[in-house]
Chains A and B, each alone.
Chain A
Amino acid sequence: MKPIILQGHERSLTQIVFNSEGDLLFSASKDSVINAWFTSNGERLGTFGGIKGDGGHNGTVWTVAVDSQTRFLITGAADNTMKLWEIATGKCLFTWEFLTAVKRVAFNEDDDTILSITEQRSGQPSIIRIYKINREEPTLQTTTPITTMTLSGSKATVALWTPLSEYILTGHESGKVAKYDVKSGEEVNYVDDAHKGEITDIQSSPDGTYFITSSKDKTARIFDSETLEEMKVFPTETPLNSACIAPLRPYIILGGGQDAMSVTTTSQRAGKFESRFWHKLFEEEVGRVKGHFGPINTLAVHPQGKAYASGAEDGFVRVHWFDETYFRSRPFGDLEPEVEV
């Protein structure tokens, strides 16, 4: 499984996403530029921002989301703005401005609504806003959210839509997992001590009926999207920054490593900068992929389960196409759950 190494960012990666066909990969970084890559060969398709006067971000891009038709891109950054881009041209179509940084954005499955989480800072609470997206006239967007959820407790760090776009699921700094009604903006369900540390990532299963969270408490957990019931726990020995669920095979991928601050003082191995593959059902580790020399900040898996990519503090994205043995190997014999796509 030879990786394709995407070198194009000057600073560490914050989030990477595949488009729904899996042929493109979008990467957001602290160097304020978003890159688009061909996943098959690692060639760069283009960048969003980076040239003066083209309406790009001016600060760390914390988050990126792509719609299912690969037409629009939403990004959120530390310059307190959220931007809508046209993927085909690389043009910035619209900019929303806030009082604090935008930490997370996501499209719903119908591509007509987005969510954004703004940072809690300088007296401003953490706020989740829901916007309708005007797909006909993309340069004319409303700045009035359809729903605003002001969080009084621990701030939300990550969020996700449920399959039918009725709810959003959030992960919080305190380790709480919660479920909000999109229409009313009310918290309908929550688990206070889902994790013992900050939740660093939340990603959905292929069909959205369950989701995985990763946390600084060194564990990843799978929850039922409906009830928030904890289904599986994956304890590791390193703080985790990202987790994703691989389609086709019953695996999940976890990534993390020692905190960026203390990385220079430890050897590559001590940092535990590997992607870890765990069996989703049996909660047992099945393999590791080495390569990064900084903590893995973000992981994404090909929507059809053919590849996965990792973006790290070292500024590189590594795209791994699974080889034949990955699909053929049966580490636990013939015991296999139903295939999920």
Chain B
Amino acid sequence: MSEFEKIEGLTEEEQLDFEAELQEGYADIEDKYAVDTQQGFENVLVVDNIPVIDEGKKQKLVDRLRQLFAKAGAPIEEDDISMPWDDKAATNKGFIFLTYPDAQQAENALRALDGASFGKSTLYVNRFGDIERYANLPVGEGELPTGWREKAFVEKDHLRSWLGDSAGRDQYLTFRDTDVAIWWNGRNGNAEPVKVDGKPLKNSKWGELYLQWSPLGTYLTSLHRVGVALWSGPKLDGPIGVNVLRFTHPGVRLIQYSPCENYLVTWSEDPLENFENHPNAALRETFGPEDEGNVFVVWDIKAQRVLRTFPPEKPVQGEDGPQQMPWPLFKWSPDDAYIAKVNVGTGISVYELPGMGLLDKKSIKIEGVQNFEWCPMSDKDFAARKAGKGKECSFVFWTPEAQNQPARVSIMSIPSRNILRAKNLFNVTDCKFYWQNQGDYLCVKVDRHARKAKSKKATFCNLELFRVREKDYPVEVIEFKDYVPQFAWEPQGNRFAIVSSNDPNYGQGIPGVVVKYNIDFYQLDQKKGDFIAIKHLDGKIANTLVWSPRGRHIALATIGSSQKFDVEFWDLDFVVDERRETSEPGANVTMLASGEHYGITDIAWDPSGRYLATSASAWRQTPEPGYCIWDFKGQQLVHQPQDRFKQFLWRNRPATLLSKDQIKKVRKELKEYSRTFDEEDAAEENRGSAEKLAQRQRDISEWNAWRSRNNKKLSERRSELGKEKKVPIVNHQDDEKVEEIVEELIDETEEVVVG
């Protein structure tokens, strides 16, 4: 349809000419008077997300906005606010223009106002020029802007394929010298290499520095001098950017995953340089000039990009020289929503993800704060969160004694910053936090010194036990007269174990002295609601507690001693007769077995809690590097002393996908299941030994064939040379008897004859 009205008296042709002429003319005029939005509007901002109101509230809104802007440090006159109006709906259009006196002021206002919250909404502020520019990008639907490359879509290999093993076996990794191998942990210690297309998984790149599994086992992480690589999928290999992710960070030494595997923190001793003109494109593209001098990098794993970098921490001066940098320095909330860092003495900085901006734009000021720890979330909490009615995250922190103010432990919720519970403490040297892994209980281990002691060296210890799920967070205090070097909650349980020592040699580090420890088990008394001691073990040499991830079983190990290398396996619910209920708590705490792993340096349960691995790493100066695997009963299944052995790592597992009911059903029908499993196990055992047998038979027949070949050659050559085979003259020693005459003095009497 023609835009122009038909003019009377013109032929069709003339009409067309006229229209064309007009159009041309307009185009010229439009070109001539077009507004260049990129120039002359530097002082104009556009504010989006303004509440939509009607005429009556307009003045009020403008006043409120002006108040907010003034408070944020960017005051503006009423006349400089222009609010576009939608006449049809009789409301505003949801955005306003701000005209500042000059570009500099507008720029400041942009920084101050962008992201500010106004009532329930968050304001988005942009330069006027930018809006025009981006709105007019010459890009059609489905097109890419110029200079952009389209990446072909490559499908990822399944990230969790290892969980589909029909026998439900766990994987583990062994790292010896420069060789990394990955194994299936079969029944009774039968290790089978993890194979792809019939070949064992192998990658010469893995053995450069050290390795780590991600918290849910998805990625194998290898550290290299130039950065970190994440390997996933059934092959733990694949195209870069798909199943292999690379994060360039020169000199990276330590890494930390977020609990849900969305983010990664890397730390390098060497500050980042200015890579602007670096020959390595990856470095140039990854880091900007503002990252120069920083040592911490927070990455988004899936997007493979830097979220934010941080400068090095100032070293904290301890009593004897600068203290070691605590690691992890950054602590993740259990849901990956926040990452936080303590600024010792001044406060805690909480950053929101994925923007990595400070929560509410400022750190939480806490005078004197020393340390903090996030509260873990249970499966129920996660489910509640999904349903939209979960609790907030929270963390516990402590502040030491200051003038006229006692030391204090507090629990704060985030993002509301409410103090949920606080407790005053006295004569505190140090506090350590232990959350039960479901977030049900919190133990604050308070190292205390005598009231009037001059030095603040800790000589005894309090356990402050918070019951977090109950109303008002009731606290129970257990006092100890001794050092308590170790504390451990039973996972998913309501018991804990502690190691304490009153041995005067403790902490002296005297070589050749075996320090004696006491080990105590405590349990929550459900009726009374407090914790009671259920078992006391005296004079133990074990100094390390390792609970099975499923609870109930615990291994006590002696690590770091030069003489003792014991590992003890305990069961807290050992019942011979299931029907007979024992009333006494702690009566069922039984040692199942004890063993020894000479030179042990590390200990870890597998994710199922069925097996325990002890390893001796050459990195830690052990007399005999290698590893052992035990079952939970304490039977040694594998003993592999290996020269230059470095690392043993179980592959982590994500939480089970079965619902509570399904688990219950499995429990109920355990007998049925176990029958099939027993059959499978028996079949497996037969097959395994059959394979081994066949291999050995092959070995023997090869050996025999080789020997007969060689012997034949030798005898041929012998006869060629005219020699005869020498048969050593053996006078049958079996018949020969070596007789020994032994004279024995039976009795000797001495008589003195007096003449």
Q: A68-B726, A68-B728, A164-B717 are contacts. A209–B643 as well, Cβ < 8 Å?
A: no
A335 contacts B731, C-beta separation under 8 Å:
no
B699 contacts A281, C-beta separation under 8 Å:
yes
- Residues on B with C-beta less than 8 A from A208 are 714
Tell me if A122 is interfacial: C-beta within 8 Å of chain B.
Answer: no
A266 contacts B623, C-beta separation under 8 Å:
yes
- Residues on B with C-beta less than 8 A from A335 are 693, 696-697, 700
Tell me if A40 is interfacial: C-beta within 8 Å of chain B.
Answer: yes
A22 contacts B717, C-beta separation under 8 Å:
no
Distance between A24 CB and nearest chain B CB, rounded to angstroms: 12
Question: Could you list 7 A-B pairs, sorted by A, with CB under 8 Å?
Answer: A20-B728, A209-B714, A210-B710, A226-B710, A236-B643, A333-B693, A338-B707
Tell me if B492 is interfacial: C-beta within 8 Å of chain A.
Answer: no
Q: A21-B728, A209-B714 are contacts. A332–B696 as well, Cβ < 8 Å?
A: yes
- Do most interface residues of chain A lie in helix, strand or loop, or is the interface mixed? loop
By a beta-carbon cutoff of 8 Å, the part of chain B in contact with chain A is 563, 598, 623-626, 641-643, 693, 696-697, 699-700, 703-704, 706-707, 710-711, 713-714, 717-718, 721, 723, 726, 728-731, 733, 738, 740
- Residues on A with C-beta less than 8 A from B563 are 267
Interface residues of A in 160-180 (CB under 8 A from B): 163-164, 166
Given A208-B714, A237-B643, A335-B697, 15 more A-B residue pairs with CB atoms under 8 Å apart are A20-B728, A22-B733, A41-B740, A110-B723, A209-B714, A224-B706, A224-B710, A226-B710, A231-B706, A237-B624, A270-B624, A272-B624, A304-B730, A304-B733, A337-B704
Which residue of B643, B700, B730 is within 8 Å of A337 (Cβ)?
B700
A338 contacts B728, C-beta separation under 8 Å:
no
Tell me if A235 is interfacial: C-beta within 8 Å of chain B.
Answer: yes
Provide the bound-state CA to CA distance between A21 and B729, in Å.
7
Distance between B624 CB and nearest chain A CB, rounded to angstroms: 6
Distance between A279 CB and nearest chain B CB, rounded to angstroms: 9
Interface size in chain A (residues, C-beta < 8 A):
41
Provide the bound-state CA to CA distance between A225 and B717, in Å.
14
Provide the bound-state CA to CA distance between A336 and B740, in Å.
37
Tell me if A195 is interfacial: C-beta within 8 Å of chain B.
Answer: no
Distance between B636 CB and nearest chain A CB, rounded to angstroms: 15
Provide the bound-state CA to CA distance between A40 and B623, in Å.
37
- Residues on A with C-beta less than 8 A from B713 are 226
Q: Which chain B residue lies CB-closest to A40?
A: B738
Q: Which chain A residue lies CB-closest to B639?
A: A285
Which residue of B693, B696, B714, B733 is within 8 Å of A23 (Cβ)?
B733
- Residues on A with C-beta less than 8 A from B729 are 20-21
B733 contacts A338, C-beta separation under 8 Å:
no
Provide the bound-state CA to CA distance between A303 and B696, in Å.
27
- Residues on B with C-beta less than 8 A from A272 are 624
Provide the bound-state CA to CA distance between A203 and B711, in Å.
18
B642 contacts A237, C-beta separation under 8 Å:
yes
Q: Which chain A residue lies CB-closest to B731?
A: A21
- Residues on B with C-beta less than 8 A from A236 are 643
- Contact code string A73-109 (vs B, CB < 8 Å = 1, else 0): 0000000000000000000000000000000000001
Q: Which chain B residue lies CB-closest to A270?
A: B623
A306 contacts B733, C-beta separation under 8 Å:
yes
Tell me if A322 is interfacial: C-beta within 8 Å of chain B.
Answer: no
- Residues on A with C-beta less than 8 A from B624 are 237, 270, 272
Distance between B190 CB and nearest chain A CB, rounded to angstroms: 15
- Residues on B with C-beta less than 8 A from A326 are none
Q: A209-B707, A226-B710, A337-B704 are contacts. A303–B643 as well, Cβ < 8 Å?
A: no
Query: B643, B717, B729: which has the most chain A beta carbons within 10 Å?
Result: B643
Distance between B721 CB and nearest chain A CB, rounded to angstroms: 6
Which residue of A40, A207, A267, A304 is within 8 Å of B711 (Cβ)?
A207
- Residues on A with C-beta less than 8 A from B740 are 41
Tell me if A327 is interfacial: C-beta within 8 Å of chain B.
Answer: no
Tell me if A218 is interfacial: C-beta within 8 Å of chain B.
Answer: yes
